[in-house]
Amino acid sequence: MTFVSFRMNILFFSVFLLFSLLIFRLGIVQIIYGDDYKREIDRKENVTINTSMPRGNIMDRNGMLIVGNKPSNAITYTRPQNIKAEEVLKIAEKLATIIHKDSKEDLKAIPEIDKKDFWILKHPTEAEAKITDTDREKLKNDKDYDTKMYHLTLDRITSKEINSFSKKELEILAIYREMITGYPLSPQIIKKNVSPKEFAMVSENLDSLAGVDTTTDWDRYNLYKDKEGNEILASVIGKVSSSKEGLPKDSVDYYLARGYSRNDRVGKSYIEYQYEEVLQGQKEKVKNVTDKNGKVLESQVIREGKRGDDLVLSIDIELQRKVETIIKEKLSKARLGQPYLDRAFVTVMNPYTGEILSMAGKQFEQNSTSGKTNVNDFALGNLTTSYEMGSVVKGATVLTGYQSGAITPGEILNDRPVKFLGTKVKKSWNTTGFGPINDLYALKRSSNVYMFLTAMKLGGQQTYIPNGRLSIDKVAAIETFRKNFSQFGLGVKTGIDLPGEQIGYGSGQIPPEAGKVLDYAIGQYDTYTPLQIVQYISTIANGGYRIQPHIAKEVREPSNQANELGPIIQEIQPKVLNKIEMKSEWLKRVQEGFKQVVNDPLGTGYGIKNKQYKIAGKTGTAQALYNGPISHSPGLMLWNITFGGYAPYDHPEIAVSVVVPWLTTDQSHVNLEIANEVFEAYFELKQKRAKENLTISTPKINTSKSETNNDE
């Protein structure tokens, strides 16, 4: 008994000591560390989130809204920082009973890897069983153990297993994958364009849908469409990424460094891209206070967001619409019996300011599946495609002849077929020749031979000898031509405020034979863009100043009132790139030649004479090698027909370029028909607006040194 009592005493004493130690430890925790643990429990974090705002509007020069933001109801989810996937799934399952996200597009958008992840989430036990003890033993010391186990599991999920989901389960997955996309505490769009019924039902159940909210989102839209529903100026306006696309992969670092989020919508091309910094809104900055588990306790707006600034274009949208219609109608008729003719381009520019009033292009393309011919917007072709332009460049040829001393104003040369040793006969369109003619007559009648002889003299050969050798310095001659042509904007970038501008083919290339220098003089060697042609024509029209073309006119603060413009932030001023190095009397003589082209009964452009509008210009026809999209035999030669002109010739308001490539005949006048109707459209709009007291002034060119850049 005594021994038993002793053992019991030891036991009780041990228990007493243990309880004493426990009480002592609890005392330490309570007294010494109590405040620390309390602070841990009460710990809060401040997390700042930036919320994107709608983009600025794009308007035409008269304040007409071209591109805006169309509001749409949307459901969003803001994911807490430390929430488990299973908890998000429960919310997705409940949300799937209220909204529909089971369209073919929604379900087709789910990638296989998301289906496998979803299968693991729904079948954790079966997923665990796919990993053997051997697998675990083999990888137990691998630093990437978890990652490799995950990929091993994915590899062993069968097609049968991921195809076993019901349509409802796939709908839940479609919702769930949207919820886990993006950053914690940043609202993520679950569904856009929700029905009023869905919007109302979600709003009624927000208390039981943690993190879910109803909001108004926006989509970019173009107000102006043609009769077929195609957007006006679509290719030049460009595209904006969706919230799913977010930042372009090749520019992520650039945008992140400027405060963008990965799912922000940004301009992807052309105007939307070029003026991203203007159009992107100022983000709303929200401070979220969270507990230690990442649950949001309160939110506070610390900076109000603001819609992006509005961009006012130099484009006249009414004129643009008319020009697009003109091209489409004229091209449709001209294409009859023309298997390769599929496009035409028009650019209208103010020759004193460089403002692009209209930039239009249409391309006819046959759908390989339906066989139906679609008419696509191809306004971009004015700066991204180039063609041999033909005689339209002869004004630059004559001026180069004056400047180089090859010819003098009024000099008479004999227009007759010319034949050099080892070459084919070269002649004007009047195959017997025009006989002795001067420079004005050569421009008016579009003499090729006058230009050939000018190029020959420029190259160092002063006398034509029938069947004799063409003895010119082709390198020096082509370099002189290109240097002078570049002063007008031919063969160099125009400087337009759009990305992707091309300069054409030929710059820097030396012709394989001397005869090509003669071809250059009539616009049948180097290629130019329609935009270069309108800059060249403008330079002649305005007295010798090469003006930088621009499609943006001004930047304005966003207005809260519909159809109203906010205060001006920035106004795009005319910029003189260079003044041509030629005498003003030479330029006036070429202007007179251009005037005769249209207004003299013998002029090649007489068909568009209009006493009221006073048009001057130059026609062009070039035989060129076809390099278009339609299947053809090698070496197919076709005709490009062009026109460049301005009006009124005594004080030009507009310069116009028309380019219609790839006809099988040089007898078509579709270039003049288009030009004629474009001039009519402009002046009729002007008269209409004068009655409505809407006038557009033409500023004088600023020729101060600060605005002039003579460097190419």
Q: What residue type is 574 in one-letter code?
A: P
Taking only Cα atoms into account, the Rg of the chain, rounded to an integer number of angstroms, comes to 36
Around Cβ 578, how many Cβ atoms within 10 Å? 19
Q: What residue type is 660 in one-letter code?
A: V
The one catalytic residue in 314, 391, 428, 446 is 391
Give the C-alpha distances (Å, rounded to integers) separating 267 from 169, 497, 710: 35, 15, 32
In the sheet where 296-303 sits, what is the strand order? 44-51, 284-291, 296-303
Q: 315 Cβ partners below 8 Å, 6+ apart?
A: 60, 61, 66, 233, 356, 357, 358, 359, 551
Q: What residue type is 428 in one-letter code?
A: S
Q: Closest Cα partner for 291 from 613, 7, 46, 583? A: 46
Q: Could you confirm whether 704 is annotated as catalytic?
A: no
Tokens of 388: 């041999």
Around Cβ 336, how many Cβ atoms within 10 Å? 7
Strands 310-313 and 58-59 turn out to be parallel
CA dist., res. 371 & res. 368, Å (int): 5
How many helices, marked H, and strands, marked E, lie in the chain? 25, 20
CA dist., res. 48 & res. 285, Å (int): 7
Contact criterion met (CB below 8 Å) for 247 and 262: yes
Task: Name the strand (E) or helix (H) holding 589.
Answer: helix 584-599
Contact criterion met (CB below 8 Å) for 525 and 506: yes
Around Cβ 574, how many Cβ atoms within 10 Å? 18
Tokens of 480: 């002189």
Burial 630-646 (b: 16+ CB within 10 A, else e): eeeeeeeebbbbbbbbb
Segments of 332-434 assigned E as strands: 343-349, 356-366, 373-377, 413-415
Secondary structure, 3-state, 470-520: CCCCHHHHHHHHHHHHHHCCCCCCCCCCCCCCCCCCCCCCCCCCCHHHHHH
Burial 438-464 (b: 16+ CB within 10 A, else e): bbbbbbbbbbbbbbbbbbbbbbebeeb
Can you state the angle between helices 448-458 and 474-487, rounded to 10 degrees? 110
Q: Closest Cα partner for 685 from 695, 673, 672? A: 695
Strands 310-313 and 616-625 turn out to be unpaired
Contact criterion met (CB below 8 Å) for 554 and 518: no
Contact criterion met (CB below 8 Å) for 626 and 319: no
**DSSP code string of 51-75:** E--PPPPEE-TTS-EEEEEEEEEEE
**DSSP code string of 264-293:** ---B-SHHHHHTHHHHSPBPEEEEEEEETT
Active site residues: 391
